Every structure is written in structure tokens, then in C-alpha cells.
Amino acid sequence: MSDKKKIMTSGNLAFAEAMRQIDPDVVAAYPITPSTEIPMKFAEFAANGKVTSEYIAVESEHSAISACVGASVAGARVMTASSANGVALMHEIFPIAASFRAPIVFGLVNRSLGAPVNIHCDHSDSMPERDSGWIQIYCEDAQEVYDTVLLSVRLAEDSRVLTPVFVCQDGFITSHCYEPLELLSDETVKKFVGERKALYPLLDTDNPVSYGSFTMSEYYFEIKRSQMEGMNNVLPVYAELAAELEKETGRYYPPIESYRADDADYIILIMSSASGVVKDVVDELREDGIKAGALRVRFFRPFPRKELAALAKGKRGAAVLDRSASIGGTSPLAAEVRSALYSLEEHVPVQEYIFGLGGRDFYAEDAHSVFDDLIKGRYTETPRFIGLLEKDDKNERA
């Protein structure tokens, strides 16, 4: 086993520390709350000679991601971070990065999108990018953020994948709260991530290539199909890499974490930091003889449909808790879950819930009420809302 050390740190600083150990070639960033600490800390590392990276301070988030794409296609290992409206400003460039197969690793610290202006956590910034062609991984705590950054560099750059990655964590909840973190040695990290071996780099003048060309219908479809194949390869390649990192850390993160769900009758599906509350309530209900369980979804893109269907098969009821809303449609996680379970021979009832918008707190009593709905068979065609201040007739429980 390699040398390790324990520190107290936050999710943002865990991300920045992983960046220091990886020492990417280029980091271009324009800080925004609550991801500010990531580029701020990395700029400090660069200024103090702790990394050899080229740190580029740009004039906007749009410029940041544009610089990242340019550096990545040139052959560099590239990382950045942003949140909320900064992510929205980058939207034009995200599909371009994915189409160029630019393996950028991006620290997305989840924050609500205005208006009204709100700096606290929900997933309304990452979910609009679910069809941009990027891998999306959602982390529960700082340790998972650190480990996932290491995995994401290898995953994004693997020749079978070549797809950029969002490493998501909940703003202020995970990003700013301090907790114990186990760090690998710098040497172990360097050995694990290795060096990027770029395919078709723009600066290889002996083998010239073109990026950003105008493409008519004769080739456009095939380019999109190639991207889909890269995304299809993500989960098998990830399994290899996660097993390799497990040998160093003893930690393994499956695409969907199953918590006492194998023999459960009723399950809650959820992502990111709020998962801990649900796990505590599962334990309490188990002590009362109720077969409750939880499934924490880590990979949203690609969505692990087969894994979810296998884990949810035979359940008497499932609740899906989304920290974002698709106004006028089904919430993102609920839509994916319902689609994945549709082909099961035995129907699993699914209830959609929306919670935590704008950083609204999620309590154990809220998780208890969700399980109570499932046990008593209270289902509605429209989503239920958790933690509203005012009464809502459509949200009342019978």
C-alpha cells in the first residue's frame, strides 16, 4: 500500500488538492460562487511553484471553457471549474468540447440558476447540460470528490471513451463543509493518472488535422454516432479504473450505490449529499422492521439503466427525489428511472418528488414522510414537493 495521510478539508479544496497532484498542463478559469475556491486555490499553487501548469485567468466563463477546448485539442491535459450561471454561459461550448472528444475534467459545484438570484445548492445548473455529450458524476462527500477527480482524468482520456467529465458536488454542503479526507501520495497519484497520450493533437504538424470544420449532412450523423459509442464505453472502462484505484485506496464507487436495498420492499433514489439523510432513515426504519433501502445514483450520464433495473426489480414502491425541476415535464432523475424500469415484467410503482431547490434543507422527517407515502400507497401523477413553506392542495397527503 502507498503512503497516505489524513487531513481535514472541504470538497472544493479536495478537488484543488487532486488538481495539484495531477498537475494538468492547462487550467483556464473564471471563478464563481460556490466553486470559487477551486481555481483560487489552484492559482495559489501555480503562483507558489507547486505546479508546472499554465494557469490562464480569463474575462468570462465562456472564455474559460473556450481556452480549455483549445488547449485540449492541442494535446494538453486540461481542467477547470464553475457553477450556476457560469455553467450556463459556457453552454454554447460544451457540445463542441464533447464533439471534439476533448477530455476536459470539470469541477461543477452545483448551485441554483437565477432568477431570482440564489447562490445555494440545487442541480438546475448541471441538468440542462445532460444532453451536451459530457459524462456526469455526482459525489456525496469530499473523499468521493477527490477520488472521482483521479478516476475522471483516466476515464476522460481513455481512447475508448475520449469524453469530457463533469465531477459534480453540492454547493456549500459538500464544497465548503470540512471533513476527514485521506490523500494518496503525490507519487501514487502521478503513477495512477500517468501522462496524457493525445490522439490527433492539433500541434502535431507532421500529421496535420483540422478541428471546427463546417460539416454537411454527409458526415455530421456519423460524428454524433461516434460520440455515442464513446459514451457507451464509459461504464465498462470505469469499472476497470475503479477496481485499479480500489487497490490503492480500499474504496470502490459503483455507478449506483445500493444501501440496504437488496431485500428492500421500498426504496428512495437520490443523488449527492442528501443521500446521507436517507441512509440514516433507512437504518431507523430497519430497526422498526420495515424493509427500506436507498439507491444513490452517481452516474447520471451515461445513465446506468441495466444496473438500476436489476437493483429495483421486485420492489413494492420507489420514490425518486430530484433536486431540480423540469418545468412542464418530468424531473430529470425521475424520467430516467421510469424509463429504465419500464421494461421490467413486474411493474414497480414510482413517485416523483422535488426537493431542496435554492438550498432548501432536507430533513430526516422528510425522508420518513416519503417512505410513509410508499408504504401507504400514496401515489400521484404529478410530483410531490418536499419542504414547501405554504400548504399545497395538490401536495396534501390523504
The contacts of residue 210 (CB under 8 Å, 6+ apart) are none
Q: Are residues 194 and 265 in the same domain?
A: no
Q: Are residues 297 and 377 in the same domain?
A: yes
Looking at residues 190-199, what average pLDDT do you find? 97
Q: Are residues 226 and 270 in the same domain?
A: no
Q: Are residues 175 and 144 in the same domain?
A: yes
Residues 56-98 have pLDDT tens digits of: 999 999 999 999 999 999 999 999 999 999 999 999 999 999 9
| pLDDT at residue 396 in the model | 53
Alpha carbon distance 51, 49 (integer Å): 5
| pLDDT at residue 120 in the model | 98
The contacts of residue 387 (CB under 8 Å, 6+ apart) are 355, 356, 360, 361, 362, 363, 366
CB-based contact 109:175 (threshold 8 Å): yes
* Among 218, 158, 129, 268, CA closest to 137: 129
Alpha carbon distance 212, 99 (integer Å): 9
Q: Are residues 281 and 349 in the same domain?
A: yes
Would you say residue 398 has pLDDT above 50? no
pLDDT band with cut points at 50, 70 and 90 for residue 3: confident
H or E element at residue 17: helix 11-22
Show the cell assigned to 64: 474559460
Q: Are residues 226 and 314 in the same domain?
A: no
| pLDDT at residue 393 in the model | 53
Looking at residues 186-208, what average pLDDT do you find? 97
Would you say residue 180 has pLDDT above 50? yes
pLDDT band with cut points at 50, 70 and 90 for residue 1: very low
Q: Are residues 86 and 15 in the same domain?
A: yes
Would you say residue 397 has pLDDT above 60? no
| pLDDT at residue 226 in the model | 96
What percentage of the chain exceeds 90 in pLDDT? 96
Q: Are residues 216 and 269 in the same domain?
A: no
User: Which residues are 346's β-sheet partners?
Assistant: none
Structural domain total, the chain: 2
In whole numbers, what is the pLDDT of the chain averaged over residues? 96
Residues 124-176 have pLDDT tens digits of: 999 999 999 999 999 999 999 999 999 999 999 999 999 999 999 999 999 99
Looking at residues 342-368, what average pLDDT do you find? 97
Q: What is the CATH number of the domain that holds 299?
A: 3.40.50.920
H or E element at residue 109: strand 105-110
Q: Are residues 236 and 265 in the same domain?
A: no
| Domain C-terminal end among 209, 226, 249 | 249
Alpha carbon distance 65, 86 (integer Å): 10
Amino acid at 160: R
| Domain C-terminal end among 249, 284, 305 | 249
Would you say residue 99 has pLDDT above 70? yes
Q: Are residues 217 and 318 in the same domain?
A: no
Q: Are residues 306 and 238 in the same domain?
A: no
Looking at residues 202-228, what average pLDDT do you find? 95
Looking at residues 34-56, what average pLDDT do you find? 98
Looking at residues 174-195, what average pLDDT do you find? 98
Residues 269-297 have pLDDT tens digits of: 999 999 999 999 999 999 999 999 999 99
Residues 49-67 have pLDDT tens digits of: 999 999 999 999 999 999 9
What percentage of the chain exceeds 70 in pLDDT? 97
| pLDDT at residue 394 in the model | 56
Domain that includes residue 21, residue range: 4-249
| pLDDT at residue 392 in the model | 61
| pLDDT at residue 111 in the model | 98
DSSP string over 339-390: HHHTT-SS---EEEEE--GGG----HHHHHHHHHHHHTT---SSPEESS-SS
Q: Are residues 93 and 128 in the same domain?
A: yes
| Domain C-terminal end among 249, 281, 303 | 249
- What predicted TM-score, i.e. pTM, was given to this entire model? 0.97
pLDDT band with cut points at 50, 70 and 90 for residue 114: confident
Q: What is the CATH number of the domain that holds 76?
A: 3.40.50.970
